Amino acid sequence: MLEMSNRTLYASLFAGLAALGVFVTQSDAKMEAVEKIADGVWFREGDLMGKGHCNNIIIEMKEYLVVVDANFPSGAQAALADIRKISPKPVRYVFDTHHHGDHAYGNPVWTKAGATTVAHKGVLDEMKRYEPKRWQAASKERKDVGDLKLADAERPKQTFDAKPFVIEDGTRRVELHHFGWAHTRGDGFAYLPKEGILCTGDAATNGPYNFTGDGNIGNWPSVMEKALALNPKRVLPGHGVPGDAGILKGEMAFMKELRSAVQAQVKAGKKVGDVVTMKDGKPSTTSLKLPDGVKNWVGMFFAQQVYDAFEEITAGKPHGDLPH
């Protein structure tokens, strides 16, 4: 099985594509810029291709701010600089939607600034499982991580379990939910019920950005169904541009189609090598095709996703439970 250091490989591949001028979308002009979504709610689209950054969401409360996702350290620093232009209020809470480096390795930047990092307990469990190995690898690959000179990833300071974690001050309510294992065991969602805004982390992306290595492809659609039950009006993904509930529906459809297509190949007696071509020990291309209805989620990592789905189905357990 291939070993991947969070999204470090993803980020480097995207950076290479950006240098070649491919996979550039209309949204690129807005990357690393702040967009107002609603009164007191801002969306900052991270530059995934060039810097490996995730998106951040800034939520204004009466006396403080709540930020969704810690980002990589450089992303956290950039987000903090932009936040100071938006509001003089301090950041009190930073919500790690999951444990991957582009969403949680910026934790030390935020706690140094006085914020409390919060996450579902599954994020802590995942860090116990994968750290410090991934942090140390990222320290060698990314200057912003290495510059912190820490031996291990900083864990979230506060966690929640079965019940949603609620942040409320009379002016706004923010609910932090966990609907099960999709992208990671600790996937978290931030929901603003009054505004109908749902922040998904990487459990739902708007584009071909799904990393399935730590995931549960079979359970992913169930998580999307639970998120859809909130009936959100706006969906702010961990990567890609904002949209509506169609992002959740598309994510759900993609995972269903991916697993169904691979399951059909397995039932037909096909091996992973029959549909996935390897190059330098990594999935490179695949002959598998999915319907046009989910093409928004099919991209340069599709061969890896097919490979992961094969492993999950043939092993009879979530891909994230397999050694890697």
- In the chain, what are the domain boundaries? 8-321
Q: What is the pTM of this model?
A: 0.92
pLDDT, mean over the chain: 92
**Average pLDDT over every residue of 56-62:** 98
pLDDT for 144: 98
Phi-psi region of 271 (alpha: psi -120 to 50; beta: other; left: phi over 0): beta
**Average pLDDT over every residue of 73-100:** 98
Residues 114, 22: Cα–Cα separation, whole Å: 40
Residues 185, 301: Cα–Cα separation, whole Å: 21
Nearest 5°: CA angle at 147, between 143 and 153?
A: 95
Q: Which two tokens stand for residue 252?
A: 């759900």
Nearest 10 degrees: Cα torsion 191, 194, 196, 198: -10
Residues 99, 184: Cα–Cα separation, whole Å: 8
| 3-state DSSP helix/strand/coil % of the chain, to nearest 5 | 40, 20, 40
CA distances (Å), origin 95, targets 104, 117, 156, 177? 9, 6, 9, 11
Instruction: With beta carbons less than 8 A apart as the criterion, state whether 40 and 115 touch.
Output: no
Residue-wise pLDDT tens digits, 302-314: 999 999 999 999 9
Helix (H, G, I), strand (E, B), or coil: what is residue 236?
A: strand
Helix (H, G, I), strand (E, B), or coil: what is residue 41?
A: strand
Beta-bridge partners for 174: 167
CATH superfamily of 8-321: Ribonuclease Z/Hydroxyacylglutathione hydrolase-like (3.60.15.10)
Residue-wise pLDDT tens digits, 92-130: 999 999 999 999 999 999 999 999 999 999 999 999 999
Residue 21 has pLDDT above 80, yes or no: no
